[in-house]
Amino acid sequence: MDQLETLQSLSEQMEFEHAEESRNEPAKPACFTPKEQRAVFVHPAQLPNGKQVKLLKTLLSSACERDCYYCPFRAGRDFRRASFKPQEFAELFMKLYQSNLAEGIFLSSGIAAGGANTQNKILDTAEILRNKLGFRGYLHLKIMPGAEKGQVLRLMQLADRVSINLEAPNTERLAKLAPNKTFIEELFRPLRWVEEIRQTQPAYKGWNGRWPSTVTQFVAGGSDESDLELLTTTDWLMKNVRLTRAYYSAFYPIRDTPMENKAAVDPVREHRLYQASFLLRDYGFDLEEMPFFQDGNLPLTTDPKLAWAQQNLIGRPLEVNRAERRELLRIPGIGPKGADAILRARRLGKLRDLTSLKKLGIVTTRVAPFVLLDGRRVDTQLSMF
């Protein structure tokens, strides 16, 4: 295979890896032929600082000795494997970068000859990009199961973001997805190492003067886990190791894997998990406030914030002119920016109608059933909009 064919082979399943809020839509660079367009999987992505970049999502190698039941790259699956050497991949990416076809990298790999050996290859690639080829753009690097703490430290010194996929919320559930991985030692422990390094090492050790952010990913529905299990682990990680975000990938069966006959998970479930995790991270909600059913799952027909408001605010609407920021954030239609805008506007005078809220960028049709404005319900004012 030539280099672009190799890149196609290594990138074609990367839609299952959610990263940087990618919409998973491959870009189509105009200078490539139709065949080559399929080879370069560059995704529009949003970085933690809000910047939009063209992100190349790929593997260094699709050869893997692990036999995870759901994975398209599992050992023994019949498909053509491909690999890049660190220098080869780094030089190819820089050609894409210099041609303005890609601006950043999400780099993972199948595991061969152990996690530590594979981690060294990812580190070598990053070292070449940063220190030999002078790349100063965005790098999201995967921590390999079985990596050593010293490798994690060096990874953090080179990357803007690091991650390791927990895949499942606990040891019992992981056994149903990847029986030859150990949840605590191989997957969970590196996330604790990252936080220990942040706490004990000066931030200037990072390549850009700060330590990278950390994320993880779960296979939602792959191990028959509940939303409560997934969000319990997510909540703990956010509070204890400063996890920036959890990604959820709705299970989808892959041909020629042990789970090929398992039903696909409704993508709406993935969406609800994201919404709930943002409530925990950004809106001041506690896990106990999530509107779980008795089976531990969230409703699919209603977003969790609206479900909470229907249970708690219909009979006790909040007065917008007196509510604290944390209370405003619990009202459907009001996010962090909207809450801050309301607080600023209140310094100038009372908010008396939905028109005032609409001028602040508030989604008034969602807000109306749950609030009072100057002591009055506002449902009757909806006809104005």
pLDDT given for residue 1 in this prediction: 61
Give the model's pLDDT for residue 382: 44
Specify the pTM: 0.90
| Dihedral Cα 184, 223, 108, 197, nearest 10 deg | -30
* CA distance between the termini of the chain: 59
CB 18 within 8 A of CB 247: yes
Predicted local confidence at residue 203, as pLDDT: 79
DSSP helix/strand/coil, 250: strand
**Amino acid code (one letter) for 80:** R
Element at 220 (helix H, strand E):
strand 213-220
SS3 55: strand
Looking at residue 155, what is its pLDDT? 97
Rounded Cα gap, residues 24 and 38, in angstroms: 13
The CA-atom distances, in angstroms, between 20 and each of 65, 159, 215, 282, 372 are 27, 14, 10, 17, 38
Say if residues 187 and 166 touch (Cβ distance below 8 Å): yes
For 358, the 3-state DSSP assignment is helix
SS3 content of the chain, % helix, strand, coil (to 5): 40, 15, 45
Say what the pLDDT of residue 27 is: 37
H runs (alpha helix) in 41-188? 86-98, 115-127, 149-158, 171-177
pLDDT of residue 38: 45
Domain boundaries 165-301, corresponding CATH code: 3.30.750.200
Q: Token pair for residue 86?
A: 């660190």
Name residues whose C-beta falls within 8 Å of residue 35's C-beta, 6 or more positions apart in sequence: none
Radius of gyration over every alpha carbon of the chain, rounded to an integer in angstroms: 23
pLDDT score recorded for residue 40: 53
Which residues make Cβ contacts (< 8 Å) with residue 210, sequence separation at least 6? 203
Q: How confident is the prediction along the chain (385 residues), in pLDDT tens digits per residue?
A: 688 888 988 988 787 788 786 543 333 333 333 444 444 578 888 887 788 999 999 999 999 999 999 999 999 898 889 999 999 999 999 999 999 999 999 999 999 999 999 999 999 999 999 999 999 999 999 999 999 999 999 999 999 999 999 999 999 999 999 999 999 999 999 999 999 999 999 877 788 889 999 999 999 999 999 999 999 999 999 999 999 999 999 999 999 999 999 999 999 999 999 999 999 999 999 999 999 999 999 999 999 999 999 999 999 999 999 999 999 999 999 999 999 999 999 999 999 999 999 999 999 999 999 999 999 998 644 433 3
8 A C-beta contact, residue 185 and residue 153: no
What are the residue boundaries of the structural domains of the chain, listed by start? 1-142, 165-301, 313-384
d(CA 293, CA 295): 5
> Which of 294, 169, 274 shows the shortest CA–CA distance to 224?
169
Quick one: DSSP state of residue 1?
-
In this predicted structure, what is the pLDDT of residue 35?
44
Angle between helices 115-127 and 149-158 (to 10 degrees): 20
